[in-house]
Amino acid sequence: MQQKKAIFSDIDKTLIPSGSLNLLVQHLYKKKLIPLNLIIRVLYWYLLYKMNWIKDFSKVIEKSSELLAPLLKSHSAVELHTLINNWFDSDIKQIIYPDIEQRIRDLHKQGYELYFVTSTLEPIAKCFQEYFGFGTVVATELTEKNGYYSAIPNGAPCHGKEKARRMNDLVIKDKLDLANSFAFSDHISDVPMLKLVGHPVVINPNPILNIIARKNKWEILSPKLA
């Protein structure tokens, strides 16, 4: 059986210019669903990660989930999905990088399978899947019980080496050809993911990732919003 070619795409600062969880928290604050002190604390932990001062993204997920626990307890999974879908429609669609979107759509037309391999939460990643109209979500999952999400992640956050591990699982499950596949990402933590494919594409890299990309002759893109 012929192996399939794939696109593995990160979301945060790869498809959009900011972190999706940050943007969602800001939206929930504007809707008066969470207090200001909570948004500041979530942004603080996320900033530490993006500055590469925290290597383990699971710490960010853990702290963010703890802070969001009251919201998770007061809103069912169905209600949260509605909130997230409305936020995506109002705030996110217009900030998806058009050049990256078109590149992915063109590759898909050429027969590439799309996988959203992202550390963001699964309900957020599914919005991107629905927007594109194709693809498979490989994201950080929240534990669901009795119709409500728990602050405890279901399994390891989809970050760093965990992304690469899940990609290798997909290679076996979906019979993928990594040598002829693409990976898109912006963050140094995704170097293990980028190294797995024959066509790594780095988006607006920081100085360290830029050095790594140039040394390995990876494609570098600097997309802008329309």
CA angle 72, 78, 80 (to 5 degrees): 45
Strand pairing report for 6-9 and 113-121: parallel
Window from 52-61, 117-126, 134-143, 183-192 with minimum mean pLDDT: 52-61
Strand, coil or helix: 31 = coil
Over 60: is that where the pLDDT of 95 sits?
Answer: yes
Q: Report whether 226 contacts 98 (CB < 8 A).
A: yes
pTM metric for this prediction: 0.89
Residue 6 to residue 171: CA distance in whole angstroms: 9
Over 90: is that where the pLDDT of 197 sits?
Answer: yes
Q: Residue 48: its pLDDT value, please?
A: 67
Q: pLDDT averaged over the chain?
A: 88
Q: How confident is the model at residue 29 (pLDDT cuts 50, 70, 90)?
A: confident
The gap from C-alpha 120 to its chain's centroid, in whole angstroms, comes to 4
Q: Residue 153: its pLDDT value, please?
A: 76
Q: Residue 139: its pLDDT value, please?
A: 95
